[in-house]
């Protein structure tokens, strides 16, 4: 399906758009304010922010060329206020340099797999539909999930499923995959699901779909998601101006734990605990804008079940260190 043939108002419901706008808008009031969307997707959040903040300019990143094509169409009414960048968000600093942007006013990251990628069976992200075992967000580069399944040894598969999927049956599933591929390659999502189902003990078969955690682990590895995140968020914190804000929506615990730790470090004073007072130069450079992780309201989850696992966190830069 081409972007022109899509109903852009129905293909994607952004998660917590009103709250995202509420958090970034105070930093985007001045003329020419720069809003960075590190995960542009189909442009839902970006459209909401640009509508609410008429003085803001958007720089939108996405590694998925199809998503950029859809977002470009969706954001066309905003004209030259929109710049799109086909890149992974861990290239944020380099790409901003290329655009001549030293700092920005607000940034937003909507992590994980997008509705576009999940809903198109041929992308291979969903264990509910049979398709080539691909899982690349950028289909122009990188190894596929099928190639990982074919090439990694049993130990590496087990570690992958444990690290990125918290899969309690990681060892069993790794062994089953290795045994199966000895006689027949695993090339589709359906074939992988069948191998996993056959390897799942009866007592675990009512504890959720056996492929859920394995597919998550493969997707994270194929796309280097955690490595990209661990590079991108510090870059964003470094480049946001004083008074600027960084907002992140995470959907699985590995991502959220990293965001939580990074924001906690940024909002903690760099001073010994026994000082009677904290000198200004040792004060934290950021402050938290959320108490813990915020979740989507019940009414939104009812209409958009994909909002259920979201954890939203946000910080504001309140000063810049003397060595910055």
Q: What is the CATH number of the domain that holds 86?
A: 3.40.50.150
Pair 255, 229: CB distance under 8 Å:
yes
Residue 117 labelled as part of a binding site = yes
pLDDT above 90: percentage of residues in the chain? 68
- 115 part of a folded domain: no
Residue 4 clears pLDDT 50, i.e. is over it: no
Residue 137 clears pLDDT 60, i.e. is over it: yes
- 323 part of a folded domain: no
Q: Could you tell me if 26 and 81 lie in one domain?
A: yes
Residue 217, domain extent: 121-222
Q: Count structural domains, the chain.
A: 2
Q: How far apart are CA 73 and CA 179, in angstroms?
A: 47
Q: Could you tell me if 212 and 229 lie in one domain?
A: no
Which of 222, 240, 266 is a domain's end point? 222
Which of 191, 222, 253 is a domain's end point? 222
Q: Could you tell me if 80 and 207 lie in one domain?
A: no
pLDDT, tens digit, 9 for 90 and up, residues 46-78: 999 999 999 999 999 999 888 899 999 999 999
Pair 266, 257: CB distance under 8 Å:
no
Residue 43 labelled as part of a binding site = yes
Residue 110 labelled as part of a binding site = yes
Residues in CB range of 254: below 8 A, 6 or more apart: 164, 220, 226
How many CB atoms lie under 10 A from the CB of residue 7?
6
- 322 part of a folded domain: no
Residue 44 labelled as part of a binding site = yes
Q: How far apart are CA 144 and CA 4, in angstroms?
A: 28
Q: Could you tell me if 274 and 233 lie in one domain?
A: yes
pTM confidence score: 0.86
- Here the CATH number for the domain that contains residue 126 is 1.10.150.170
Which of 183, 201, 222 is a domain's end point? 222
Residue 7 labelled as part of a binding site = no
* Least reliable range by pLDDT among 122-131, 182-191, 214-223, 307-316: 122-131
Edge-to-edge strands, sheet with 240-250: 82-86, 56-62, 33-37, 104-110, 240-250, 311-317, 286-288
Q: Could you tell me if 58 and 132 lie in one domain?
A: no
Instruction: Say what the pLDDT of residue 2 is.
Output: 44
Q: Could you tell me if 13 and 99 lie in one domain?
A: yes
> How high does pLDDT run on average in the chain?
89
Instruction: Say what the pLDDT of residue 126 is.
Output: 73
Residue 89 labelled as part of a binding site = yes
- 74 part of a folded domain: yes
Q: Could you tell me if 19 and 104 lie in one domain?
A: yes
| DSSP calls for 126-158 | -TTS--BS---SSTTSS--HHHHHHHS-HHHHH
Residue 29 labelled as part of a binding site = no
Ranges of H-type helices in the chain: 17-24, 44-52, 65-74, 92-98, 115-119, 145-151, 154-165, 170-181, 189-199, 212-223, 225-239, 253-266, 298-303
Q: Could you tell me if 155 and 60 lie in one domain?
A: no
Pair 243, 268: CB distance under 8 Å:
no
Pseudo-torsion of CA 229, 232, 233, 236, nearest 10°?
Answer: -160
């Amino acid at each position: 399906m081409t972007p022109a043939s899509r109903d852009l108002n129905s293909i994607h419901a952004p998660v917590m758009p009103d709250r995202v706008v509420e958090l970034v808008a105070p930093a985007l009031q001045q003329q020419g304010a720069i809003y960075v969307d590190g995960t542009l997707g189909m442009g839902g959040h970006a459209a909401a922010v640009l509508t609410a903040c008429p003085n803001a300019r958007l720089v939108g990143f996405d590694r998925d060329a199809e998503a950029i094509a859809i977002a470009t169409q969706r954001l066309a009414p905003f004209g030259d206020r929109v710049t799109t960048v086909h890149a992974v968000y861990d290239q944020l600093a380099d790409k901003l340099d290329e655009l001549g942007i030293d700092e920005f006013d607000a940034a937003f990251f909507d992590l994980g797999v997008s509705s576009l990628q999940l809903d198109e069976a041929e992308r291979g992200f969903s264990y509910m539909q049979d398709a080539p075992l691909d899982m690349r967000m950028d289909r122009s580069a990188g190894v596929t999930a099928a190639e990982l399944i074919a090439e990694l040894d049993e130990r590496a598969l087990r570690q992958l499923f444990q690290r990125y999927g918290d899969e309690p049956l990681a060892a069993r599933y790794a062994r089953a995959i290795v045994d199966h591929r000895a006689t027949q390659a695993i090339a589709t999502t359906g074939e992988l699901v069948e191998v996993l189902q056959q390897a799942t003990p009866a007592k675990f078969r009512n504890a959720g779909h056996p492929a859920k955690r394995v597919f998550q682990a493969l997707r994270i590895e194929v796309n280097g998601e955690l490595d990209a995140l661990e590079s991108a968020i510090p870059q964003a914190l470094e480049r946001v101006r004083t008074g600027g804000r960084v907002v992140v929506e995470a959907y699985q615990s590995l991502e959220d734990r990293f965001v939580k730790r990074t924001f906690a470090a940024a909002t903690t004073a760099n001073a010994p605990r026994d000082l009677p007072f904290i000198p200004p130069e040792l004060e934290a450079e950021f402050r938290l804008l959320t108490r813990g992780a915020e979740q989507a309201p019940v009414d939104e989850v009812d209409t958009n079940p994909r909002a259920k696992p979201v954890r939203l966190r946000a910080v504001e830069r309140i000063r810049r260190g003397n060595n910055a």
